[in-house]
Chain A
Amino acid sequence: MLENCSWFLLVPVWVSIIIMGAKFLGISFHKKYIVGLSILSTIFSSLYCLYGLHFSYLGNQTEFLISFIKIDSFNFQLGVYVDLLNSLFGLTISIITFAIYIYSIFYMDKEKSFSRYYSLMNLFNSGILAFIFSPNLFQIFLFWEIIGVVSYLLIGFWYQKNTVSLDAKRVFLVNTIGDICLFAAFIIISFTVCFITNNMNLVSLPFSELNIITSAFYGATSPIMYKFVLLLLIIAAVVKSAQFPINSWLINAMSAPTPVSALIHSSTLVCAGVFLLMRLFPMIALDNQTIYLVGTIGIITALVTSLSALVQTNIKKVLAYSTSAQIGLVFLSIGCYNPILGIIYLISHACIKALLFMCAGVVIKLVDNKNIMFMGEFRKCTPVVALCFIVGAISLSGLGFCGFNTKHLLTEAYCSGIHSTLIFAFIGALTALYIFRLYFLVFENTASYECENLECSKQNSLCKSSYFMLIFMAIIVILLSLVTPNGHICPLYIVNLIMVLVAWYFYNTKFKLKRLPCIHHILTNGFYINKIYYWGEIYLYKYFSCVCLFIDKYILGSLEKLMVWMISSISNREINLQSNNFQSYISYGILIIIILMFVFSAIYLFILNLFGV
């Protein structure tokens, strides 16, 4: 039954092709058909994931493969691999995508390129589903690239604006670094494994035989080489999931429309890196140092980005930094040898973040401004949005619903000493602080406009549809709390409650904190990581181009001049057959004699050859 229904996963691709093909031929469908088809595709994929969940709940796995390239036993295969991890992720993604499609009707209301948006979203949906259900590392790499490309196209959706297209280009170029590392790791592992086991069926590194691959690769390489390859994989995951050294692309990616941010850069694309690590967990777990590195990267990211999120004035940047931080905590859970906890955390975080982004999108659309200093009093204008935002904020800071369970499980796994407890408490406090700062500044603060002047009072039905989706996501967040395992209540989270009160005090009332100028600037600019990269790129480009100029002008230029001299020195001479001394005639004679010597010897040898000597 699963085998026959695997085409469900291909429906989004067909929808995308239909929409774009029709546009190419000049037919433009009405909005309702486009949206209807997209929603149908998400319903199909969620049904498939539900059935897959039912099938794999007890730990079964199955796969259906098509040969992509086949030369005797050298076999690159594409297909579908159904597993518990896969089905869970697929289900969350399908549900979030469903909500985003309906939400987009409201957000992209007056958009001219409506069909381009929906076709790209469908393409992305199909890409991420194929990525998640991939049976081997080859397909993972293939769709890793594809979702990177589609993310570039979606970030640059409003490409007519210069900054947006530059940001999109930058994001894509940064993601290419991860692609290169993943490709290199794939080639190295594939080659060594096939070389050692002499079994070309493993050339695409299927996950059903991960044990063989791990043991073969571990045995075939020296410890340093093993660590190097795992480092490449970790770099790929770090780049894709926006962890510490390379987290600035997520800030650039916030030039995208908000539904795109909600889907891609909070729930799905940034999960791709961690998904890779979870899939290859047996390989990574063999080495202590790599697991330690993963955990360290996670906790450092969480610290750095949480600090940066405290002082941002753009809603989406706060949420972007928050995404980096939470994915850092997932890295941390992998570092504690607990990928299952990571999965649960990831799923709950995806739903929470999607909810928060959707609320932010409504608010942005109503005020046409992303700066929270120009917002306020939304609790009176749109109480539904405020309620949903509170649900998300409570979950994110670990005080209730599904965030409560997951955070407490993570505390159990990680906090085993005074230092780890302190750091984790600090991060949790920061989380509560920045998210409730956002709530109080946006929804409770005094505003300079009247509620009735906002758009929402004029277009009731569209707003209501978005509200329905917000409520839908909030309900999902609440329901997830029933599904996730309960952790012991930790007294640590009183800190978070205190932080909520702190946020209320400082951001709601008239009392304003004095800004520490130095620290404030560092945090606002995201610890200047972005600026360091820009500076480095400019200097690299400048000096590299100077070097290239030098080589071109002096080394290659002198080579050219040499060639020219060599040929012109011969061609510019005046050959005089008659000269004013008899010795030139002698030299001509000797030249002819030498030529004749060669000719005669050649004839002599030729004749000897004829006679078979």
Chain B
Amino acid sequence: MKNSIINCVTAYNYQIISLILFSVGLIGTLTAKNFIKVFISLEFIVNAINILFVSFSSYKSESAYLGYFVAIYITAISALLLAIGLYFTYFVYKKFNTIEIEKIYAKYKDVKKC
């Protein structure tokens, strides 16, 4: 028992999770055919960044809870941006009558003024 290795969850583990979530979100944005899937993937990215900032709270710093403050702030802002994006999709849907990106682009070329 004296020489046993104890594994514990460290900040490194949180950062790995953040990386995985970030890559998932990135791939989602880049290969999405659906307009709304893009926004969902952006949320993934934002949440990954949140986790990253929270993991920095274990390091030595002047204030111990800086990461948490940043996370809450970013969550709020992302919610705002999401709302604006949804407002944007409403008008896009009204104009082009689809959500799929390729069809929107095709129709966008036909429209002379937008």
Q: Which residues of A contact B (CB under 8 A)?
A: 580-584, 586-587, 590
Contacts and interface: CB of A to CB of B under 8 A. Distances in A.
Contacts of B26: 590
A519 to B, nearest CB: 82
A582 B32 CA distance: 10
A590 B30 CA distance: 10
A582 B104 CA distance: 11
A580 B29 contact: no
Nearest to A580: B105
Contacts of B101: 580-583
Contacts of B32: 583
A581 B29 contact: no
B13 to A, nearest CB: 24
A582 B105 CA distance: 9
A201 B20 CA distance: 69
A587 to B, nearest CB: 5
A584 B38 CA distance: 13
A583 B106 contact: no
A418 B31 CA distance: 96
Interface of B: 26, 29-32, 38, 101-102, 105-106
Nearest to A582: B101
A158 to B, nearest CB: 81
A586 B29 contact: yes
**What 7 A-B pairs are tightest by C-beta distance, nearest first?**
A580-B105, A583-B30, A587-B30, A581-B101, A580-B102, A586-B30, A581-B102
Contacts of B102: 580-581
A584 B29 CA distance: 10
Most buried by A among B30, B102, B105: B30
A583 B29 contact: yes
A585 to B, nearest CB: 10
A120 B31 CA distance: 83
A272 to B, nearest CB: 71
Contacts of A582: 101, 105
| Residue in A580, A584, A586, A590 with the greatest tally of chain B CB atoms within 10 Å | A580
Contacts of B30: 583-584, 586-587, 590
A432 B78 CA distance: 115
A593 to B, nearest CB: 11
B106 A580 contact: yes
A222 B19 CA distance: 61
A587 B27 CA distance: 9
B35 to A, nearest CB: 10
A151 B102 CA distance: 84
A591 to B, nearest CB: 11
A587 B32 CA distance: 12
Given A580-B102, A580-B105, A584-B30, 16 more contacts: A580-B101, A580-B106, A581-B101, A581-B102, A581-B105, A582-B101, A582-B105, A583-B30, A583-B31, A583-B32, A583-B38, A583-B101, A586-B30, A587-B30, A590-B26, A590-B30
B85 to A, nearest CB: 13
16 contacts: A580-B101, A581-B101, A581-B102, A581-B105, A582-B101, A583-B29, A583-B30, A583-B31, A583-B38, A583-B101, A584-B30, A586-B29, A586-B30, A587-B30, A590-B26, A590-B30
Contacts of A590: 26, 30
Nearest to A587: B30
Contacts of A583: 29-32, 38, 101
